[in-house]
Amino acid sequence: MCIRDSYKNEKSVVVLGSGAYRIGSSVEFDWCSVNAVNTARKLGYKSIMINYNPETVSTDYDMCDRLYFDELSLERVLDIIDLEQPKGVVVSVGGQIPNNLAMRLHNYGVPILGTSPTDIDRAENRDKFSAMLDRLGIDQPAWRALTSFDDIKEFVEQVGFPVLVRPSYVLSGAAMNVCYSYDELERFLAMATEVSKEFPVVVSQFMQETKEIEFDAVADKGEVIEYAISEHIEYAGVHSGDATMVFPAQNIYFSTIRRIKKISRRIAKELNISGPFNIQYLAKGSDIKVIECNLRASRSFPFVSKILKRNFIETATRIMLDAPYQKPDKSAFDIDRMGVKASQFSFARLQNADPVLGVDMSSTGEVGCMGDTFEEALLNSLIATGYKIPSKDKGIMLSSGGAKEKASLLDAAQALVKNGYTIYATAGTAKFLNDNNVKATAVGWPDEDQKDLPNVMQMIADHKFDLIVNIPKNHTKRELTNGYRIRRGAIDHNIPLFTNARLASAFIEAFCTLSQDQLQIKSWQEYE
């Protein structure tokens, strides 16, 4: 069925907004929607916005020529398009919700501006995308589409645990999980198939201690026009919406950056991308693997646009509307300023929630800050999300998980002692630190009643700490219970908490290098 064989109103454009704010659909997409509308109006188009969130800027009365404050469902969108008869619809700036409508609108004959919906489907459908990468000879973690549990079991026996369960077409990594045992695998596969009934669930090898790199870009008919390469401080395993992002990337080999650009260009050409897109990579040494590709704006688009001082969405909208745009020269991507995007969490408002980050998204907001150095940008962003530089009058509590995490926190612990901080630690961590000439006072676990050691929960209740670092060690019941009580205690008593060793180390080394009174307050315009 086709709504119209031809669309008469060539000077109007429909933009689908981000819908209700929830985890995975946030204010960043509103920024993208607003910039798309502004660009369309600048080019002389009548802008029509469909969105139903009163908190967004895109639903302000003066932001567009016509606002439909209505749900982003297929039926409502078709009704509006039938009435307005626009040149086309922009689905790539409002996040996952409008992106999921692309193929369904296309099937009704609605012109989608930018990348073809069939190509969007090739990227969104995990099975199709993985098969495409295999055909192009682009490396990816080993994977298997769900056909039967026995097949999956056979696959797991080949690659070993942990494995990642990934449904298609989902918001914020919903039902995406890392499995460490067959029991977890069965449970999470059931959840994933329930969430994504129409599409195959892909089980892939999960690579540990691997860097995650984001490639945000705009392309025109398969040619990359603008791009930004950023890295996560945390190793892969933390959802990109929760991870702390650094741009420009600081700790990536030059050869890795070159290969990422080369692979991204091949994917853009294969999918004939016109508009915004995001590719997520894994990098370990010289190994580079593609995780996924979203043919839409990502939540880091406003962040990289502001750091680069180039509006990616304006360029993307001009491309989608076949309007002229300015191609940047190579020097535009070589900048001295630094940006760090940190996530905001609301665990304090969620009773009994465990504040451990994983592959499904938990954050409820983000803050992007700039600085002349990485340390300055990191401190600015973490302080803006509610962290504070610890006072030397109080202690810092470390519970650092397994042997690798203990080793990774050693330099940070040395810096703390050198700068006059008092370290408290659970038994294993205290022993490790003292064995490595870092003075640490042992405290008892929550479930221990040792007269010779102070109990950690009592010390948390007495506010003896100004910072707590708790890294989950393993998935045994005791470890999970004790760790949970410490983490929850920190949240309930409003004590800054880190559950990731790499982010904790970066924060500690930053405030040991730069004091709070050395942080500069500069406007965006002042950064060259």
* pLDDT tens, position by position, 230-278: 999 988 878 777 889 999 998 898 899 999 999 999 999 999 999 999 9
The pTM for the full model equals: 0.87
* Residue 131 in this model has a pLDDT that exceeds 60: yes
Residue 22: what pLDDT? 65
Pairwise CA distance, residues 423 & 159, whole Å = 40
Return the domain boundaries, the chain: 12-113, 142-205, 389-514
Q: Name the more confident of 514 and 179.
A: 514
CA distance 472 to 465: 19
Strand, helix or coil for residue 447: coil
What number is the average pLDDT over the span 398-423?
A: 90
Does the CA dihedral 484-490-494-496 come out positive or negative? negative
How high is the pLDDT of residue 2?
Answer: 46
Q: How confident is the model over 302-306, as a mean pLDDT? A: 94
> From its phi and psi, is residue 322 left (phi > 0), alpha (psi between -120 and 50) or beta?
left
Q: Are 86 and 95 in contact (CB under 8 A)?
A: no
Residue 41 has a pLDDT of 93
Across the range 307-315, mean pLDDT stands at 95
- Separation of alpha carbons 48 and 269, rounded Å: 30
- The CA-based angle 486-492-496, given to 5 degrees, is 70
Q: How far apart are CA 413 and CA 423, in angstroms?
A: 8
Q: Which CATH superfamily is domain 389-514 in?
A: Methylglyoxal synthase-like domain (3.40.50.1380)
The pLDDT assigned to 27 comes to 82
pLDDT bin (cut points 50, 70, 90) of residue 193 is low
Is beta strand 223-235 parallel, antiparallel or unpaired with respect to 202-205?
unpaired
Domain 12-113 architecture: 3-Layer(aba) Sandwich (3.40)
The DSSP-derived string for 331-398 is GGG----EEEEEEE--GGGSTT------SS---SEEEEEEESSHHHHHHHHHHHTT--PPPTTSEEEE
Residue 324: pLDDT band with limits 50, 70, 90: very high
Strand partners, 68: 50
Position 180 confidence tier, pLDDT thresholds 50, 70, 90 = confident
What's the pLDDT score for residue 218? 97
Task: pLDDT band for 200, please (50, 70, 90 cuts).
Answer: low
Structure tokens that stand for 205 in this block: 């090898």
Region of poorest pLDDT, from 183-197, 213-227, 440-454: 183-197
Fold of the domain spanning 142-205: Dna Ligase; domain 1 (3.30.1490)
Task: With a cut of 90, say whether residue 3 has pLDDT above it.
Answer: no
Give the pLDDT of residue 23. 57
- Do 12-113 and 389-514 come out as alike in CATH topology? yes
Q: What is the DSSP letter of 203?
A: E
More confident residue, 189 or 526: 526
Cα separation of 445 and 454, whole Å?
Answer: 9
In which region does residue 484 sit, left (phi positive, over 0), alpha (psi from -120 to 50) or beta (all else)?
Answer: alpha
Q: What share of the chain has pLDDT > 70, as a percent?
A: 91
